[in-house]
Structure 1
Amino acid sequence: MAIDRWLLEQHSSGLHPSTLRFYTWSPAAISLGYHQHKYPEAWQHLTWQGQPVDLVRRPTGGRAVLHQGDLTYTVVTSGLTGNRAQVYQQICDFLIQGWRSLGVELHYGTAGRGYVHNPNCFSTATSADLVLANGTKLIGSAQLFYKGAVLQHGSIRLEPDTELLTEVFGTKAEPIVPMATRGECLRVMVAEALMKAAISCFDMQFEVQPLSPSEWAAIESLQTD
């Protein structure tokens, strides 16, 4: 989360180009929306595969997301026009096209404002989220606008652990992507398809580049602010 926040601040200051980022979480974690201050106390004592489940806060809004068996994407950019919903659709276009290239059609959710009372992001699907044909939510996204730039990141639920999900939210789930590929190969395949779609949708080329030691130091300083 500190990396995403740093990328947004750097881009808004003209110090870093637009960024597309994919990542997974280790250990498993629950990310809370920026304004989500109420959550079960039991979440502070969860474990999975012998490790504590991290509890972190996102710079964006929305409800809690369990990051286990998912792939997270981040887009940091600027120059998009329109209201918040229109910006969502401009950015989400690469997600829709990328999954279409894998044979999966996605649509926007239709949940009303009642979703704000539910602590589980994936139990409802708003117009900012992408769902499968049967209404199952595949991608939950959130935004933050900052000095002319926008951060949009989201969780792509691929292979949730049923027992952990039930322990956290009291709901059950199986791997919901109708594909034979599993594990790391699935995550790589999805990331590659989405990157190709982003190149087409955003009409740009990407340069894969790791963070430098000085950039890591700047990011780590944010976590102590």
Structure 2
Amino acid sequence: MSECEVQRLLDAIAGCRICRDAPLRGEAHRLPHEPRPVAVLSAKAKILIAGQAPGLRVHETGITFNDASGNRLRDWLGVTREEFYDTDRFSIVPMGFCFPGYDVNGGDLPPRKECAPHWRSAVMAVMPQIELILAVGHHAQSWHLGAHVRENMTETVRHWRDYLEPDSGITILPLPHPSWRNTGWIKRNPWFEKELLPVLKELVRRKIG
């Protein structure tokens, strides 16, 4: 696809207000603040980072993964901040484009249900050059792995080798979310850092040059 087509889709996403104006679950579930869709599409990048939804800091700055989670993710990938935000190298498109707000315990709510059904197919269609999808978190894994997703995020990530030779030609590598909330998970699953991360770094470096 051309850069013009990518830009047209980005402009349309930037103007999206579905979660505010036409919430799927009715007026009571309207997004409680002004939407600020955050996504990075590319006509050249071979890697798509499929995240969950922006956090508050990303909402405030408009820069995806512009927080501690982003620092950890860049460390996992073995890339610099400059490489990470190079649109010739990475496309970064969360399942939900806007900060969804907080739950009663102060954690981020799940991605809005309006985004993926409305936008995901168009996003993938405009980036046919994608060769590697990094599916960060359960929501991205469920969408991109479909029937191949396991019973929970841990088991999906644990079986990461099963997704390296896909029928579609696009490699999908499932990852936990790099949030500090998953620090305990990382400690309980040492295979993640020992076995998966070296392969992840190699795949990324091969794709970005």
TM-score normalised by the chain length of structure 1: 0.28
In terms of fraction of residues, the more helix-rich structure is 2
Question: Of Structure 1 and Structure 2, which has the larger fraction of its residues in strand?
Answer: 1
| TM-score under structure 2 length normalisation | 0.30
